């Protein structure tokens, strides 16, 4: 079975690995067949995963509906995280974290998720037009009403995290973090440790890059958002291959796969870090879960840290427009 972790000081206990469900409906090419997607989600639960991540804008809306149906038979045994923060629930539109919008999202998400409470409710992106204290205060009220259990932020900067936490304790920050993107090490992780906030890294496999299955010749589906990511341009993929080569070398030594090394490395950083790799394939799900049993020693982690000092990652992780929404 999968070991458990607690997100920060909140007491929210989840499996040490969660399942990011976005890619089943959105972002990485055509949506997965609904029956196959439900089968995958239930297989994750059967394997010991109790932490499932979605958002109203994944689809929009279809991912929450999918998760609601898949998890209904064992709702009380799982932790469901979803998100608010976009106008009309559409990530292509502007941001909207107005109190009225937050309340509307809760009601709609509860219906789609077939539940009467949301375990972890994230602000998807910081809205510069709504004071963070107001956002946190609205979620605090929803917690008081029993509709939400825990408050989270996604891709927020240190200042926003502190402001939110002073009004309603933040249980978790969800942001990108992996061997492929280590920006949170500068100040985010220290802040989370100080405040007792859990960390939920998304794209822990570098949007698939760290699995070793992507190289300079890979062609993505036309609807795959990686086509818009500078880091995934053909020349940058070739330039960044050195990191994959490093991970592959360690994987061979440890008799593991590159994906398992990438996840084991994240799990070894802090005991309150819970990565949420996503997949549409059952064998990848099983492979990811296997990372729980890969232990990297202090010496191995030091060797990795030294090797990383000599590898420069090329290309931004988002297009300029999307980059403008993070770290606020």
Q: What are phi and psi of 140, to 5 degrees?
A: -60, -45
Show the tokens assigned to 155: 């891709």
Contacts of 227-235 spanning 24+ positions with Cβ under 8 A: 228/319, 228/322, 229/315, 229/316, 229/317, 229/318, 229/319, 230/315, 230/316, 230/317, 230/318, 230/319, 231/180, 231/313, 231/314, 231/315, 231/316, 231/317, 232/207, 232/315, 233/315
Q: What are phi and psi of 160, to 5 degrees?
A: -65, -40
Sign of the Cα torsion 138, 141, 143, 147 reads negative
Whether 58 sits among the annotated catalytic residues: the reply is: yes
Burial class of 278 by CB neighbour count within 10 A (0 to 12, 13 to 18, 19+): buried
Among 137, 155, 63, 59, CA closest to 98: 137
Task: For residue 211, give the DSSP letter.
Answer: G
Residue 166: cis peptide before it, omega within 30 degrees of 0: no
Secondary structure letter of residue 20 according to DSSP: E
**How many other CB atoms sit within 10 Å of the CB of residue 35?**
8
Which two tokens mark 117?
Answer: 């409470």
CB 164 within 8 A of CB 136: yes
Pair 199, 172: CB distance under 8 Å = yes
Task: Specify the pairing of strand 198-202 against strand 170-176.
Answer: parallel
What is the C-alpha separation between 108 and 111, in angstroms, rounded?
5
**Catalytic pick from 28, 58, 122, 177?**
58
Q: Catalytic positions, please?
A: 58
């Amino acid at each position: 079975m999968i070991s458990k972790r607690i997100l920060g000081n909140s007491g929210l206990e989840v499996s040490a690995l969660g399942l990011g469900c976005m890619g089943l409906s959105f972002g990485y090419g055509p949506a997965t067949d609904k029956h196959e997607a439900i089968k995958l989600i239930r297989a994750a639960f059967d394997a010991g995963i109790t932490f499932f991540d979605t958002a109203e804008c994944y689809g929009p809306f279809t991912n929450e509906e999918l998760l609601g149906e898949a998890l209904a038979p064992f709702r009380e045994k799982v932790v469901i995280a979803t998100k608010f923060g976009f106008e009309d629930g559409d990530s292509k539109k502007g941001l909207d974290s107005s109190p009225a919008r937050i309340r509307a999202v809760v009601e709609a998400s509860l219906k789609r998720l077939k539940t009467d409470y949301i375990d972890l409710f994230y602000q998807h992106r910081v809205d510069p037009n709504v004071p963070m204290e107001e956002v946190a205060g609205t979620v605090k009220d929803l917690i008081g009403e029993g509709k939400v259990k825990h408050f989270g932020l996604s891709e927020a900067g240190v200042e926003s995290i502190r402001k939110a936490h002073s009004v309603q304790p933040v249980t978790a920050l969800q942001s990108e973090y992996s061997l492929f993107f280590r920006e949170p090490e500068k100040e985010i992780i220290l802040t989370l440790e100080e405040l007792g906030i859990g960390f939920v890294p998304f794209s822990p496999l570098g949007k698939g890059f760290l699995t070793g299955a992507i190289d300079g010749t890979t062609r993505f589906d036309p609807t795959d958002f990686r086509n818009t990511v500078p880091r995934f341009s053909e020349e940058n993929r070739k330039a960044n291959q050195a990191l994959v080569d490093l991970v592959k070398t360690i994987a061979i030594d440890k008799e593991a796969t590159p994906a398992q090394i990438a996840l084991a490395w994240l799990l070894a950083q802090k005991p309150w870090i819970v990565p949420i790799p996503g997949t549409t394939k059952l064998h990848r799900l099983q492979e990811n879960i296997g990372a729980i049993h890969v232990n990297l020693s202090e010496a191995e982690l030091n060797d990795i840290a030294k090797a990383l000092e000599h590898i420069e990652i090329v290309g931004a992780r988002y297009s300029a427009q999307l980059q403008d929404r993070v770290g606020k």
